[in-house]
Amino acid sequence: MEKHTLPTFNYGEDQLTASLALGIARGEIQGIIPENVERKISASAQAVEHIAASDRIVYGINTGFGPLCTSVISPSQTAKLQENLLKSHAVGVGKPIAKELAKLMMILKVHALAQGFSGIRMETVSRIFWMIEQDIIPVVPRQGSVGASGDLAPLSHLFLPLIGCGEVFYEGKKKPTLEILSQFDLQPLSLGPKEGLALINGTQFMAAHGIWIVEKLHRLLHSATVTSALMLDGLMASAKPFSPELHQLRPHSGAIYVAKGISNLLEGSEILASHADCTRVQDPYSLRCIPQVHGASFNAWLHLKETLEVEINSVTDNPVVFDEHHSISGGHFHGQPIALVFDYACLAAAELGNIADRRIYLSIEGDTPGVPKLLLKETGLNSGLMIPQYTTAALVSENKGLCFPSSADSIPTSLGQEDHVSMGSIGARKALRVIKNVEQIIGIELFYAVQALDFHQPKKSGYLLQRVYESVRQQIPSVTQDREMSGDLAKATEFVCSGKILELAESLFSKPGPFSQF
């Protein structure tokens, strides 16, 4: 698609969302810096230049940083001060973050700088914008941020290329920055007053990870709702716990959404109709309480999304420059607002895996009429589907260890000047690890659920569930005797990670609402 046909987003003017940021990063949306935004950026830069040339002492413009805030820097040394800041703070360790995450960091930073309160020059913003457009993405180590004073180490690595240092990813390879600048006949920038501080003060590392969490958890929540509905039909569970009149008496929005979704998925099920008059009074919690448990995780996701959208449209720099006579050194770089919701989202994801493991276990007990123990007719010589549940148990246990809240910890830094930090970057990375584990668990639940449904043939499930069942069976044959199953589990997990399940159940989740899109 040609760029001029793409939808556009105006930096510093439009409201950014997780999906819009991802659209820009993936080349589906064209970012633009409007002329009026350019004027705001330039006006703020001029204000900083006036402060730097005056006798006023303003943190980060003509002083040192952190515990060196009382060290006054002469006007002739301000450029060197900002360059030294980037170099000295680029001390991250570990493997590089994904290229898309680093690109999201740049997109979020451009949008934050475009608000016009950071005192950065248009020339510097334009260079970052150019790198995004050319897909020249800095190499950023994943460890080293404590989440206040912003994401100092990763943001320093992100912007080292502006001054000709560091490495970048370009055309699939990692290369020295100077080599790429030379290729485009460009020179490194010389930073002006406050520019280094404006670049590295902020929460863009945490927020970029948050965007991934929003996308991946959204997909996981809906996939888990589909696989749980498949399991409900496979285990001939009651549909009564999903009745709308029941959930109106305890109207949590997530629970109502899940109950309605499962009712829609089960609609028209021949399996459900076949046991409508059974004498079973109630099902185990992992079946009966899906709306309450999944719904709570949906609510956690919504809280994350709403909080993150405030963050990515905010100024997280310090000091904030209103004009040359009014600047405030505050704490907008502190990651606590999003650090807490990352921990919440981590727990919400883990609970999806926890309850899914219980449903998986129920499916192999052999208590459902027509569904054999271990989901295989002939066992003894064959172990059937005994062992994949060991894997889900292991993943659930691992997640429990990862659910300790990162935001509950704080280690003072900067000689005590920065004496409380959020650890939000750790919480964000940890939440993504948990989500990845739960994707595996939900993939295994999908594998088990379609195996359970095999034993109800020729009766069919609800229309939408039947589509999922048949699509899975096209790629994963039924298990009739022991075989290597790792490839099967990988294919089932790919249904979850790729969003294939959601495509098959599209009519269920396409309706407008707080949970249907991000």
> Which is it for strands 326-328 and 30-32: parallel, antiparallel or unpaired?
unpaired
How is residue 409 written in tokens? 């910890």
- Dihedral Cα 488, 489, 491, 492, nearest 10 deg: 120
**Dist CA 185 CA 127 (whole Å):** 13
Is 59 tagged catalytic? yes
Q: Can you tell me which residue has the tokens 């066992």? A: 379
Are the beta carbons of 227 and 206 closer than 8 angstroms?
no
User: DSSP class of residue 72?
Assistant: B
- The answer to whether the peptide bond before residue 388 is cis (omega within 30 degrees of 0) is no
**Dist CA 374 CA 376 (whole Å):** 5
Are the beta carbons of 183 and 459 closer than 8 angstroms?
no
> Which is it for strands 8-10 and 30-32: parallel, antiparallel or unpaired?
parallel
Q: Can you tell me which residue has the tokens 């006023």? A: 56
**Dist CA 18 CA 26 (whole Å):** 12
Distance (Å) of CA 5 to CA 1, 27, 96, 392, 461: 7, 11, 33, 45, 43
Query: In residues, how long is the chain?
Result: 518
Are the beta carbons of 291 and 241 closer than 8 angstroms?
yes
Question: Which of 11, 59, 344, 469 is labelled catalytic?
Answer: 59
Q: Can you tell me which residue has the tokens 């409508």? A: 276
What contacts 171, CB < 8 A, 6 or more positions away? none
**Residue ranges with strand state E in 192-303:** none
Q: Which DSSP string corresponds to 276-335?
A: TT-------HHHHTHHHHHHHHHHHHHHHHHHHHHHHTS---SSEEEETTEEE---TT--
**Which amino acids are annotated catalytic?**
59
